[in-house]
Structure 1
Amino acid sequence: MRSFGELLDARVRRPDAIAEAAASRRRPETILGDHGRLMIIAADHPARGALRAGGDPLAMANREDLLDRLRTALARPGVNGVLGTPDILEDLLLLGALDDKVVIGSMNRGGLAGTSFEIDDRFTAYDADAIAAAGFEGGKMLLRIDPADSGTVSTLEACGNAVTALAGRKKMAMVEPFISHRVDGRVRNELTAEAMIRACTVSAGLGNTSAYTWLKVPVVPDMERVMAATTLPALILGGEVSDDADGAYAQWSKALALPTVHGLVIGRSLLYPAAGTVADAVDRAVGLL
């Protein structure tokens, strides 16, 4: 199927079509694209209640519009992966948009944005069994470490168990680590080299093996020091939509020159660019690879 109407009809009348589409999806021969890197479009924000892009607090609230943007991005040359929650990935499966793509299922979305329990980030989406059953290439988890919030330890334990479970199925475990603090009641990530070094070293030690663990990290000052703290492969995340697109691309380009960095995982910055089209933004990011 190719249309939004057909997708809606399948969800009502043929829910088994989702499993059928997953089973028939053409798998990528390697997780790396023709450029030797990973170029992943991220779209797991809505399930955590984070719908903002740029100045629009509900930019990601229209699902048909989001799916159109995702299909445009995934069809661009050099884009070889997508990251999402079950609802979004299943929509893309039904639309036939995931053939030959690296598919990463987002796992812990329970730490809803702006809540008192945000740091206790429960695994409410994919688990390792579901990722393996769908034939996807890996799972992603968010790990925010707040020294002042006891909910951190539950998230640490759950992420460690998820890394072990994914590795047992030879699936990538993509860990997105931060040192975080509450500021005026809101969780803020500490984007310094020292904080990211600590977060990366904690994440690298999760689970009973690190053989399948990749890190998903932001660009911070002294990125060379951060990436020198581990031998695990890393992917650079895009973060919030920036008014300074040139500055963001320059930062990504510099980080990609580091030996442990093997690609980009970018969502809103490409799906909702501050200027220009989705295709233009994606092509520019692919050009960095």
Structure 2
Amino acid sequence: MRAGRVAGTRTHGGDGTHHPRVDVSRLVGIRTRHPEAIEEAAARRARRPLLTAGDRLLIVAADHPARGALGVGDRKLAMANRADLLERLCLALSRPGVDGVLATADILDDLLLLGALDHKVVMGSMNRGGLQGAGFELDDRFTGHRPEDIQRLGFDAGKLLLRIDYGDPGSLTTLESAARAVDEMAAHRLPVFVEPFITRRTAGGALRNDLSAEAVTRSIAIASGLGGSSAYTWLKVPVTDDPDDMARVMETSTLPAVLLGGDVGDAPQDRVAAYEKWRGALRLPTVRGLVAGRSLLYPADGDVAAAVDIAAGLL
């Protein structure tokens, strides 16, 4: 990391792994006096192909804060400390087998200034308008990276969230805007990772993603048909409630897919069960990797390095 490095170190790994602390004052100073440094860092970033020889991807996700989703387990503001989040991200990105990061502009700009994105896959998060807990949460408008931003900055892919509620007419607007985003990304020849869910509101008004085999199958079928070309479309899909259903579910499309990590729980047995679900699904022919965020960056035992290494081992 070129900018932001200071003498002190912190440890975010039980194996004693040390990671340089993020100098927030220096980052703010660069942003204040030299905002052009972000685009300059993007221009000189050493790039790599989306896929390497193993045809597998492990991406660390950190686009949650822009949707107001700062909680991890019972820690409601776990992701609110930006320096801590950046340190965890830099540590994760430094581990063997980690291919890249998915985040919004503010976080990717910081990582560019820190020099942490060389030879990494960089994915811009495109729609963050559906704020967690808001009455308009399903209105997932495109408030993040535009296709032209991803191309201009030399990033490698984009990601969009597609939550569909059959009882909410507004879902049609989300579908249409997602389709146009797929079109624009294809026009730039940029991969776009579509994360679809069939979503329902509980009696109390909370949103719940339906992870039954039927619902995930329908969401994959819908997402696969978006836009005028699927040539650059990937899927980002959850593991179903019953992981034994995944083989049948993934027969729904020939599009390449990555698994989303989601929350794995704090109990050791919950983490083991989640890893086993991922391991099984990763053997399927269309599944090409894993995109996980909070489960790797904020493990219950605090050992980021170990959590990332376990995920890398699954691939």
Q: Do residues 207 (structure 1) and 227 (structure 2) align?
A: yes
Distance 1:178 1:260, change over 3 A: same
CA contact (8 A) 1:33 1:80 kept: no
| Larger deviation, residues 33-42 vs 222-231 | 33-42
Distance in 1 (alpha carbons) for counterparts of 2:255 and 2:301: 34
Gaps of 5+ in 2: 6-22
Distance in 2 (alpha carbons) for counterparts of 1:9 and 1:33: 36
Instruction: State the partner residue of 1:149.
Output: 168
Q: Give the Å deviation of 1:226.
A: 1.2
CA contact (8 A) 2:103 2:123 kept: yes
TM-score if structure 2 supplies the norm length? 0.90
Q: Do residues 7 (structure 1) and 27 (structure 2) align?
A: yes
Distance in 1 (alpha carbons) for counterparts of 2:201 and 2:253: 27
Q: Do residues 58 (structure 1) and 77 (structure 2) align?
A: yes
Q: Do residues 280 (structure 1) and 306 (structure 2) align?
A: yes
Q: Give the Å deviation of 1:2.
A: 3.1
CA contact (8 A) 1:145 1:178 kept: yes
CA contact (8 A) 1:128 1:139 kept: yes
CA contact (8 A) 1:103 1:137 kept: yes
Counterparts in 2 of 1:1-289, with a 5 A limit? 1-3=3-5, 4=23, 5-28=25-48, 30-33=49-52, 35-183=54-202, 184-220=204-240, 221=242, 222-243=245-266, 244-289=270-315
Q: Which amino acid aligns with 1:277?
A: D
Distance in 1 (alpha carbons) for counterparts of 2:151 and 2:165: 31
CA contact (8 A) 1:241 1:272 kept: no
Distance in 1 (alpha carbons) for counterparts of 2:172 and 2:26: 44
Distance in 1 (alpha carbons) for counterparts of 2:162 and 2:260: 14
Q: 4+ runs of 1 displaced by more than 6 Å?
A: none
Q: Helix, strand or coil for the counterpart of 1:281? A: helix
TM-score if structure 1 supplies the norm length? 0.98
Q: Give the Å deviation of 1:9.
A: 1.0
Q: Give the Å deviation of 1:33.
A: 4.0
CA contact (8 A) 1:181 1:187 kept: yes
Gaps of 5+ in 1: none
Q: Helix, strand or coil for the counterpart of 1:70? A: helix
Deviations 1:133-168 (A, max 9, x none): 011111100000000111111110110000010011
CA contact (8 A) 1:33 1:39 kept: no
Q: Which amino acid aligns with 2:4?
A: R
Distance in 2 (alpha carbons) for counterparts of 1:6 and 1:115: 35
| Larger deviation, residues 7-16 vs 61-70 | 7-16
Distance in 2 (alpha carbons) for counterparts of 1:212 and 1:186: 33
| Larger deviation, residues 275-284 vs 67-76 | 275-284
Q: Which amino acid aligns with 1:188?
A: R
CA contact (8 A) 1:139 1:171 kept: yes
Measured on the aligned residues, the alpha-carbon RMSD in Å equals 0.9
CA contact (8 A) 1:38 1:262 kept: yes
CA contact (8 A) 2:264 2:274 kept: no
Distance in 1 (alpha carbons) for counterparts of 2:67 and 2:221: 25
Structure 1 vs Structure 2: percent identity of aligned residues?
59
Q: Give the Å deviation of 1:34.
A: 5.1
Q: Helix, strand or coil for the counterpart of 1:174? A: strand
Distance in 2 (alpha carbons) for counterparts of 1:261 and 1:2: 37
CA contact (8 A) 1:33 1:79 kept: no
Number of aligned residues: 288
Deviations 1:106-132 (A, max 9, x none): 000001011111111110011100010
